[in-house]
Amino acid sequence: MFGIINPPSAPGAPGSVEMMLPTVANSTPETQAAWSYMSNVTAGQPAAAAWGNGIDMSKMPSWSAPYVAENVMYSKSFFAMNPETISKDGKVDLSPLNNTAISLPTDVAAAVRLSDNSTANGTSSSGDATPSSASSKGNGAGALSSPRAAVALVAVAVAFFAL
């Protein structure tokens, strides 16, 4: 698991998520897949699409960039799929989730890792590998295993309090 506690904010700065995310998203197959998925899910959801853009990545270790990117893109996708959790001004309120079903984004990064792992092992995508077995190839939000709903809520809550 990867988390950010109280990340510095630098909206529009060269080291901000807003400015660095497109570049970081093209760094690995996992982040490329997550970028494509997130872009599709957040289309027409400006508050979700803008969430986390002010996080300053410039002082974070370079190895953490893909993990920060995966977490931000997953969170943006979560908010887009659950629009009642984010207001037009970007404020997050998870209380509407108390009595409603939530939608969880597809874990595209884990799917890519699983696909890479299956190919490396000579198994097809219909093999018995699971996303948690793919986590041995890397860390990050994309490698989380069940219970996914609880993990998603914890990750979103941590991200909410971090901003």
User: For the chain, what are the domain ranges?
Assistant: 17-162
- Asked if omega into 147 is within 30° of 0 (cis), the reply is yes
pLDDT greater at residue 138 or residue 48: 48
Q: Is the pLDDT of residue 161 over 70?
A: no
Q: How far apart are CA 3 and CA 36, in angstroms?
A: 22
pLDDT digits (tens, 9 = 90+) for 6-56: 667 777 888 899 999 998 888 888 888 889 999 999 999 999 999 999 988
Full DSSP string of 60-122? S-GGGHHHHHHHHHHHHHHHHHSGGGB-TT--B--GGGSSS-------HHHHHHHHHHHHHHT
Tell me the CB-side half-sphere exposure of residue 59, using CA atoms within 13 A.
9
CA distance 142 to 146: 12
pLDDT greater than 70 at residue 65: yes
CA 3, CA 55: separation in Å to the nearest integer? Answer: 13
Is 79 a residue whose pLDDT tops 90? yes
- Residue-wise pLDDT for 98-123, tens only, equals 777 888 887 776 667 766 665 555 44
**Tokens describing residue 119:** 């190919």
